[in-house]
Amino acid sequence: MKILYMCNEFPPKHSGGIGMFTKLMAEKLVEQGHDVVVFGYGKDQTETIKKEQGVTVIRLVEPKYGKNPIINFGKTLIERNKYFKRLKVQTNQSKPDLIESYDWSGPLLFKIKGVKLIVRLHGSNTANNDYMSKKRSSLFTIIEKRALKIADRIVSVSDHVAEQTKKSFNMDFEYQTIYNGVDLNKFKDLKLTRDLNKIVFVGRMHDYKGFKELFAAFNTVFATNDSVHFDIICSIIESYKDKIMTLVNKKYHDRIHFIGRVENSFLPKKYSEANLSILPSLTEAFPIIPLESMSCGTPVIMSNQFSSREIIEDGQDGFLVNVLNPTELAEGILNAISNQDRIESMRPKVIDKILSHFEIDRIVRENIKYYESI
């Protein structure tokens, strides 16, 4: 089978869930003998075409935008049209059996004739803003809805994001949910000596990741528990770091450790050294980070929002907490660390859950079956 994935954040470009998903799926499909092309914007000043782990990766020159919203609106439409024309050329060359696009930012406004188009719901800008009760972007609302309308089939990374998408765009469509997966050859319990006072937070430094809510909860957590401390693993934005640290009493600052960005290959060590991990996001489509942590035998304290209940059963293989209220978030963290025997009993459960639900080879087989049904 020949598959073309559209992805504007393919690693090593700074990537979120779409980039991580696409890289993992593309490489696994190539391992199984499929022909995969990834098409999208890159970081270079010229277009590049490279073979990476057997995947043909085409990176276009990414357009630059200014601050004027009216000019940006027009430029976005022009650039989407140029993007489509280049994709059409590539499709004629590669002759894929299908193209997979996505919802966020509506990268594709027209359908390539003669090729089936799948749109995978990773969480559109419009649906996320609606879920967080934030103001929509008029431009994104238009182009994201258009991207959904031209799809032959829609697949979603979670039931939550599919239902929120239907609601946000006032659309009724059929979809199949196929969850994101994790590679257990890379993410596994390394059987290291765990620091039972350490909680690790892996995530992008952004408001929607729950940084403000978590740091607002720290004073209560640290005042109640004398030993717990946190490792923060992310690309550090110094101005943002300074801002959130003002939420924490200075006497507790030495219990928050900013590690910086860590390559994926080192994350299993970080998870395996910690007692728990935490993901206090305000919204996610279906986050991969909890799956990585659980694969390493490290239960997760997670927001009870969005798709979290599709990953964790509260109190059985993780902890769901209200991150929107710092007091309740602090109480949830303190409850999670109050019973070490309970945490230890969860370690085999979280690994078993990954094996039975989210192991990448299982997810790849499910995707192949879906592709072949189209």
CATH number at residue 208: 3.40.50.2000
Average pLDDT, the chain: 95
**Does 294 share its domain with 368?**
no
In a domain, 309, yes or no: yes
**Does 213 share its domain with 175?**
no
Q: CA 203, CA 225: separation in Å to the nearest integer?
A: 24
**Does 284 share its domain with 309?**
yes
Q: Which domain covers residue 97, as residue numbers?
A: 2-181+360-372
Q: CB of 144 within 8 A of CB of 169?
A: yes
**Does 35 share its domain with 152?**
yes
**Does 106 share its domain with 128?**
yes
Residue-wise over 333-354: b if at least 16 C-beta within 10 A, else e?
beebbeeeeebeebbebbbebb
The strand pair at 300-303 and 319-321 is best described as parallel
**Does 165 share its domain with 226?**
no
**Does 122 share its domain with 170?**
yes
pLDDT in tens, 143-183: 999 999 999 999 999 999 999 999 999 999 999 999 999 99
With residue 20 as reference, give the H or E element that holds it: helix 17-31
Mean pLDDT of 310-336: 97
**Is residue 266 over pLDDT 80?**
yes
Q: What is the structure's pLDDT at 12?
A: 84
In a domain, 189, yes or no: no
In a domain, 292, yes or no: yes
In a domain, 39, yes or no: yes
In a domain, 271, yes or no: yes
pLDDT in tens, 15-32: 678 999 999 999 999 999
Q: What is the structure's pLDDT at 67?
A: 86
The model's confidence at residue 70, banded by pLDDT at 50, 70 and 90, is confident
In a domain, 365, yes or no: yes
Tally of structural domains, the chain: 2
In a domain, 261, yes or no: yes
Q: What phi and psi values does residue 229 have, to the nearest 5 degrees?
A: -145, 165
**Does 165 share its domain with 231?**
no
Give the total residue count for the chain.
Answer: 374
Residues in contact with 242: Cβ distance below 8 Å, sequence separation at least 6, in sequence order: none
